[in-house]
Every structure is written in structure tokens, then in C-alpha cells.
Amino acid sequence: MRHVALVVVGAVALLSWVACERRDAPPGSTSAGTAAAPPAPSSPAIGEQVVELVVEGMHCATCPITVRTAARSVPGVVDVEVTMSPGRARVRYRPSETDSTRIAAAITDSGYPAHEVNK
């Protein structure tokens, strides 16, 4: 089963995910400097966009990890936040490399039908 195979990867992903939330910074932004008023955690950088997707069928703790892994596998995706209830994926991506349709398709292909919130 997919879930069993993902346990090890999932544990690592979950740890880095939690650590990432504690840092309140997107991965890769290690620039130290002004301690004052860093940008909000998920605010897109210049040239990036954020799309919120409805994700159906998540039912246990590993499901969001599967969804996140699927979305992150899409070239151009920068960061992904997944919540189980409600089932949502907030995806930050570079529109020069991918689009919301491809991201939704990748999540759908992983077993969780996904579509944009407003579509």
C-alpha cells in the first residue's frame, strides 16, 4: 500500500514540515539580516504566485504528506502547505515554470482529487 511505503519518507517530511513552521520561514530563505518584520511565512516572493486548492479524500495523518510530496514534485513548485480539515493545499509556485492546473493534476494523480478553490 502506498501509505506503508511512505512511512519513512513521511516521518522525515513531517519533521521538516514542523520544523519549517516553527522557523516561520520558507525553506531556502536563510538570509540573516534585519531582525525586524520578516515577510509573512507564505507570502510569495517576486515572480511567485500562491494558489489554494481543494483536496478531497484525505483521511489520515499520512494523506497530507502524500499530497505535499506530490505537489512538491512538480517543477516550479516552491512550497506547499496542506491541511486535512478542511482538505486544502496552499501552493506557492513560479508561474514561469508551472501553473495551478498542473499542480492540481499532480495531486489528483496521487489519489486525492484536487481543484482550485474558486473553480
Distance CA 64, CA 9 (A): 13
**Which segment (14-22, 27-35, 49-57, 61-69) binds Cu ion by CB under 5 A?**
61-69
Q: Interface with Cu ion includes 15 (CB under 5 A)?
A: no
Q: Interface with Cu ion includes 9 (CB under 5 A)?
A: no
Q: Residue 54 in contact with residue 107, Cβ under 8 Å? A: no
User: Residue type for 28, please?
Assistant: G
Taking Cα atoms as reference points, which of 89, 84, 91, 90 lies closest to residue 57?
84
The one among 55, 63, 65, 74 contacting Cu ion by CB under 5 A:
63
Distance CA 72, CA 68 (A): 6
Beta bridge partners of 114: 55
Smallest gap from Cβ 64 to Cu ion, in A, equals 8
**Which segment (24-32, 33-41, 54-62, 88-96) binds Cu ion by CB under 5 A?**
54-62
**Which segment (14-22, 25-33, 55-63, 98-106) binds Cu ion by CB under 5 A?**
55-63
Residues that bind Cu ion (CB under 5 A): 60, 62-63
